[in-house]
Amino acid sequence: MLPVRFSQRAKRDVREIQSWIRGRSSEGATKWLAALEQAIGQLSVSAASCPAAPEADEIGVDLKQRLFKTRRGNSYRLLFIITSDTVQILAVRGSGQDLLNDKDLDLPE
């Protein structure tokens, strides 16, 4: 089981997505956060089995993704890398958002 850490970018993504949902439904924002927390819990034990993100080849790193859905069926992606001792979430994306490039991510040196 690896610890899961968020980059500053990923933290900002979470705040922005949750704020956007909260503007439409306070209950929806709470449920989205619960779905996110469940996905993070699963990621800590099964990150290596997640598929490559569509952006991985373009960015040139072993970027993986973990998809999760809300109860209403909206899809979100956790974009992450695995280091020797950590799962590092680099971004959180909602459905319909564009793919990222290396300038969009806080890639570790």
Cα distance from N-terminal residue to C-terminal residue, the chain: 24
Q: Which domain holds residue 82?
A: 4-96
Taking the model in full, what pTM does it have? 0.91
**Does 101 reside within a domain?**
no
Give me the pLDDT at residue 109, please. 60
- Residue of 49, 53, 46, 48 whose CA lies nearest to 92: 53
**Does 107 reside within a domain?**
no
Pairing of β 75-82 and β 87-94 = antiparallel
Average the pLDDT over 9-29 and give the result: 92
Average the pLDDT over 37-41 and give the result: 93
Q: Is the pLDDT of residue 108 over 70?
A: no
Average the pLDDT over 19-29 and give the result: 91
**Does 88 reside within a domain?**
yes
What is the total count of domains within the chain?
A: 1
Average the pLDDT over 47-60 and give the result: 92
Structure tokens at 24: 């439409």
CATH number at residue 37: 3.30.2310.20
**Does 75 reside within a domain?**
yes
Give me the pLDDT at residue 97, please. 86
**Does 60 reside within a domain?**
yes
**Does 105 reside within a domain?**
no
**Does 64 reside within a domain?**
yes
**Does 108 reside within a domain?**
no
Percentage of the chain beyond pLDDT 90 is: 67
